[in-house]
Amino acid sequence: MVNTRAHLRALENAMSLRFIGIDPNTGQGESPTVWVDESKGEVVIQGWKPDAETEAECARFQAPGHAVGIPDHEQVVRIPARMTSILREACDAAERAQLR
């Protein structure tokens, strides 16, 4: 069995990402995770793949000035609401990285 936290720390070091947090209710095969790429000021999210209905609903949405659909180089992911504080922390860290 892989030690998830140790594995994530190793990935963080290899990919130059700063680990922010993981779903506190994580089990085997269930690990929504959030990192920050401080060099780019970006939040990196691993989440659950959405069901077809959710993905289709997202694809139908049209933001002003943007085409309908999900570009081939983008992906919709789902994360649990209980990770809101982790996302806030990641957003704050990414914003601080942009200000450097």
Report pLDDT for 8: 66
Report pLDDT for 42: 92
Report pLDDT for 13: 57
pLDDT at 90 over 90: yes
Query: What distance in Å separates the CA atoms of residue 53 and residue 78, rounded to the nearest whole number?
Result: 13
Please state whether beta strands 33-37 and 42-46 pair in parallel, antiparallel, or not at all (unpaired).
antiparallel
Report pLDDT for 99: 79
The torsion of the CA quartet 22, 26, 31, 34, rounded to 10 degrees, works out to: -10
Kindly report the average pLDDT of the chain as a whole number.
87
Better-scored residue on pLDDT, 78 or 5: 78
Strand partners, 21: 34
At residue 47, φ and ψ (nearest 5 deg) are: -145, -175
